[in-house]
Amino acid sequence: MRTLLAALLFALLVAAPAAAAAPVRASASIDRNSVTIGDQILLSVTIETDGGYSIVDGGVGRSVGVFEVVETLAPQLNKLPGGGSRYVFRYRISAFRVGTYILPPIQVAYQGPGGERGVSPTGELPIVVGTVIRPGESTDDVKPLKPQLRLPGAPPDLSGAIRVALVLVVLAMLVLIIWQTRRAMAKRAAARPPAPEAQLTPAQRAMVELTRIGELRLPEKGRYAEHYMLVANALRVYVRDRFGLRATERTPRELREDMLAAGLDRSEIATIYDILREGEVARFHQAPGYPARAQHAVRSAMDAMRRAAVAEQYELMHGQAS
């Protein structure tokens, strides 16, 4: 037993100086570790760097383990004695399943003054997600969902064969949309007059513009504000042209409320809102930028526009204006 304790003490003494010597140190904290389903938790990621070291990726995307990132707050930056920096990134996260979970380590990627790269992980954090039903509370009044009522004039239930045929039609339309987009790009590259813009739907026009923005590679040049301004403008014009909303005059939060009131697809609303919020942070809060994260915003917007383009084609097939 004494031998084991001595070995553990020796390991701690050896590891402590090594940890202190790390040029980039990351830690994570939460404001509470016990919540009910849907409650928001404030996650803070604190990163301290020595002089000459920069953060390449904060390690938090749209989810952390089973927890979804509901909102990204404005980051904080402070200078440390000796030329170092302290970054504090804050997020509001939430879980929608009951259980005891471990918030996994967040992998913070950094780059040194000589171009060398490394990763500094945070520690794990236990979080308990409970139910809103109190112990001993009766659940007899909680009844199962009833089958959805069919509205008068609704189309009949599709059989399996018809569903397969519909999926094939949608895939064919998606291939056609991608082909049309690439054709428009080829015409622009060859300096030939592009197809009339009126022939493209709002989502297709947004796809063409997002492709052009991605090819500019502005984040790699440090021009984050310009990059996000172009991406946000493409999405706002799409919402304005397709749904008739005053998208170019609204804040991200106001536009989200308008889109919810108009009954837009919630996943599409979430994607547009998240990208607009990232743009606000990059343009007005002078937050440190990450090229990979900025280009990820373009890819997310492109994916949303591909789905929207399929919906537009489906509406056109049924005689509805987009």
pLDDT at 155: 60
pLDDT at 9: 52
Distance CA 80, CA 82 (A): 6
Which tops the pLDDT comparison, 31 or 320?
A: 31
Same domain, 300 and 175: yes
Among 2-16, 29-43, 85-99, 255-269, the least confident range: 2-16
Asked whether the predicted pLDDT for residue 281 surpasses 70, the reply is yes
Better pLDDT: 13 or 251: 251
Residues 109 and 119 sit within 8 Å (Cβ to Cβ): yes
Residue 71 lies in a domain: yes
pLDDT at residue 246 greater than cutoff 50? yes
Return the number of other C-beta atoms located less than 10 Å from residue 268's C-beta. 18
Residues 35 and 91 in one domain: yes
User: Could you tell me if residue 13 is inside a domain?
Assistant: no
Considering the chain, what is the average pLDDT of its residues?
Answer: 82
User: Mean pLDDT across the stretch 292-297?
Assistant: 86
Backbone angles phi, psi at 218, to 5 degrees: -65, -40
Is residue 6 included in any domain, yes or no? no
Confidence band (pLDDT; 50, 70, 90) for 316?
confident
pLDDT digits 0-9 by tens, 146-169: 555 555 665 665 566 777 888 888
Residue-level pLDDT at 140:
57
Q: Quote the pLDDT of residue 191.
A: 55
Report the CATH number at residue 75. 2.60.40.740
At residue 241 the predicted structure's pLDDT band, cuts being 50, 70 and 90, is: very high
The answer to whether position 136 is within a domain reads no
Do residue 93 and residue 164 come from a single domain? no
Q: What is the mean predicted confidence (pLDDT) over 271-285?
A: 84
Residue 151 lies in a domain: no
Least confident of 16-20, 32-36, 100-104, 228-232: 16-20
Asked if the model's pLDDT at residue 220 lies above 60, the reply is: yes
Domain that holds residue 79: 20-130
| Predicted local distance difference test score (pLDDT) of residue 321 | 44
Q: Are residues 190 and 280 in the same domain?
A: yes
- Window from 17-21, 70-74, 153-157, 171-175 with minimum mean pLDDT: 17-21
Which of these three, 88, 114, 130, is where a domain ends?
A: 130
60 assigned to some structural domain = yes
Q: Are residues 165 and 303 in the same domain?
A: yes
229 and 113 within one domain: no
Are 67 and 188 part of one and the same domain? no
* 187 and 259 part of one domain: yes
Q: Give the pLDDT confidence score for residue 7 in this predicted structure.
A: 46
pLDDT band for position 139 (50/70/90)?
low
Same domain? 101 vs 165: no
Number of domains in the chain: 2
Q: Is 69's pLDDT higher than 70?
A: yes
Does one domain contain both 171 and 281?
A: yes
* Whether the predicted model's global pTM rises above the 0.85 cut: no
Same domain, 121 and 185: no
Lowest mean pLDDT among 12-16, 37-41, 93-97, 299-303: 12-16
Give the span between the Cα atoms of 312 and 322, in whole angstroms: 6
Structure tokens at 130: 């409970």
> Do 24 and 103 share a domain, yes or no?
yes
Instruction: Tokens for 68, please give them.
Output: 């979804």
Q: Per the domain annotation, does 64 fall within a domain? A: yes
End-to-end CA distance of the chain: 76
**Which residue type does 61 have?**
G
Provide the b/e sequence for 143-167 (b: ≥16 CB within 10 Å). Answer: eeeeeeeeeeeeeeeeeeeeeeeee
Q: What is the 3-state secondary structure (H, E, C) of the chain?
A: CHHHHHHHHHHHHHHHHHHHCCCEEEEEEECCCEEECCCEEEEEEEEEECCCCEEEECCCCCEECCEEEEEECCCEEEECCCCCEEEEEEEEEECCCCEEEEECCCEEEEECCCCCEEEEECCCEEEEEECCCCCCCCCCCCCCCCCCCCCCCCCCCCCHHHHHHHHHHHHHHHHHHHHHHHHHHHHHHCCCCCCCHHHCCHHHHHHHHHHHHHHHCCHHHCCHHHHHHHHHHHHHHHHHHHHCCCHHHCCHHHHHHHHHHCCCCHHHHHHHHHHHHHHHHHHHCCCCCCHHHHHHHHHHHHHHHHHHHHHHHHHHHCCCCC
Cβ neighbourhood burial of 99 (10 Å; 0-12, 13-18, 19+): exposed
Residue 138 lies in a domain: no
